Homo-oligomer: A and B are copies of this chain.
Amino acid sequence: MNENKKLVETITARDVDFAQWYTDLCLKAELMDYSDAKGFIIYRPYGYAIWENIQKYLDNRFKETGHENVYMPMVITESLFQKEKDHVDGFAPETAFMTTSSGDEGERLIIRPTSEVLFCQHYAKIVSSYRDLPKKYNQWCSVVRWEKTTRPFLRGKEFLWQEGHTIHQTELEARTETLDMLSIYNQLGKDLLAIPFVTGRKTEKEKFAGAVETYAIEALMHDGKALQSGTSHYFGSGFAEAFDIKYQDKDNLVKHVFQTSWGVSTRLIGAVIMVHGDDEGLVLPPFVAPTQIVIIPIQSQKPEVMAASTELYNSLKQAGFRVKLDDSNRTPGWKFAEYEMKGVPVRIEIGPRDLANGVVTITTRHNRAKALVSKIDVLTSMPSILQNMHDDLYQKALNHVQSNTFTATTYDAFKDQIEKGGYIKMSISGEAAELIIKADVQATARVILDEPLVTELCPVTGEKATQTILFARAY
């Protein structure tokens, strides 16, 4: 294999330089490329197809649960943007504007960093009665935030996402929506991405600009850093009051609505790469992989090899698997290394000797296990091969989380551990402790844990501890 490996461009080993490994992989697995405009990336077919699979899963779940898609303008007038104070303060530093040479754009137009205010204004206009509620809208689009440092999929000046915005009659209904959507995101991890998210509420310091409460799904990367992978916000009536979103209730009283918003982005692609990838390249969980199975004919000049390959390809495709037959004139060794690097879950080799025995060789990417499988059994065994692989990957990621979650009873132990990576539970007094921790070791509160206090006093401030927090360094 070594020689073939060199045919495919080599990737930095994870333990040598994880950041470089990540960037190498993004480029060499052809997930993305850079553009001339700094901080703006090109989503190449292989990367975009991962996003499409995530979209398909979520869009179905959103629609099943009564949400409707809309599309709001990509620009927001400056006066509209400034209506909710916390929100402006949170986003103003990173806004970009749309201008023209003629300068006839009137009021300054902000390119959406997020669309709360557009939804609020629209809802205020179209809602008047309890009969109009709830409104549960979602939008798939790109947003722009003028970030100073950018990394493929993790932080960019433009990224793709979905943003859901809903309004409800009651606080209970809105709070339920907030948690239901968090639960759908969590399920996306379980069903599709094979990522065990930690879910929970954000601290006051870390919550979204304008939210009453923010919940998040957090994932632990291979290098022990956390990645916030999605958020779901409960807004109460704050935006509704600022934007005058009111309705006449059954009791004839005019009331403000209760509101939520929630979103995930192409950041999830980064999570998949950094949770599952290894030194040979990507390892894609089978249900999110653009290509689930690659068939590689060995000695493809032999007619029986190509015939068997094509037949198997057709039957797998027919059955709904995402399958590719590579009959190009590269060597089998080159192809093995290439699809390994691209993380294709299942490789099927079809060669003349195996064929004579009625078998093919199946290799699963995540554990490199090889098995001879009866040609006639390939189709029927494929669902369980993929499911087992998915389960293995999920379990491996869960083990990683469990063996890298620590509890700190002293601040020194916390600081020691944070250098080694992983999640650390610690009970703190409040925001003052968070600020000290961030300044000292650049770790942040990922979520508030619904667990008993670890220590009575906060190891950082010495004051009474009030909540147990899951800390980590994060992307």
Using A100-B95, A100-B96 as known contacts, say yes or no to A33 and B69 having CB atoms under 8 A apart: no
Tell me whether B74 and A33 are in contact (CB under 8 A): no
Whether B42 and A77, one on each chain, are in contact in the complex, defined by CB atoms closer than 8 angstroms, is no
A40 CB-CB contact with B under 8 Å: yes
Count residues of chain A with CB under 8 A from any CB of chain B: 55
- Check: A75 CB closer than 8 A to any chain B CB: yes
The answer to whether B96 touches A96 (Cβ under 8 A) is: no
Decide yes or no whether A149 CB sits under 8 A from chain B: no
B35 engages A72 (CB within 8 Å): yes
Report chain B residues within 8 Å CB of A71: 42-43, 48, 51, 142, 160
Chain B nearest Cβ from A268, distance in angstroms:
15
Min distance, Cβ A124 to any Cβ of chain B, angstroms: 12
Q: Is the CB of B73 within 8 A of A45?
A: no
- Are the CB atoms of B100 and A146 closer together than 8 Å? yes
* In contact, A49 and B33 (Cβ under 8 angstroms): no
By a CB distance below 8 angstroms, the chain B residues around A80 are 36
A174 proximal to B (CB < 8 A) = no
A37 touches which one: B38, B49, B73, B160 (CB < 8 A)?
Answer: B73
Q: How far is the CA of A348 from the CA of B300 in the complex (A)?
A: 58
**Copy total for this chain:** 2
In the assembled complex, the CB of A73 is this many whole angstroms from the nearest CB of chain B, namely 4
Residue interface mask A81-112, B partner, CB < 8 A = 1? 00000000000000111111110111001010
Return A226 CB to nearest CB of chain B, in Å.
26
Asked if A52 is an interface residue, CB under 8 A from chain B, the answer is yes
> In the bound complex, do residue A99 and residue B99 qualify as a contact, i.e. CB atoms below 8 Å apart?
yes
Cβ of A328 under 8 Å from chain B? yes
Interface string of A58-76 (1 = CB under 8 A from B): 0000000000111111111
In the complex, whether A413 has a CB less than 8 A from a CB of chain B is no
Q: Across the interface, which residues of B come within 8 angstroms of A51, CB to CB?
A: 71
In A1-58, the 8 Å CB interface with B consists of 33, 35-38, 40-45, 48-49, 51-52
A67: nearest residue on chain B (CB-CB)? B45
CA distance A38 to B77 in the complex (A): 10
Q: How far is the CA of A71 from the CA of B266 in the complex (A)?
A: 11
| Pairs A-B, 3 closest by C-beta atoms | A40-B73, A45-B68, A43-B71
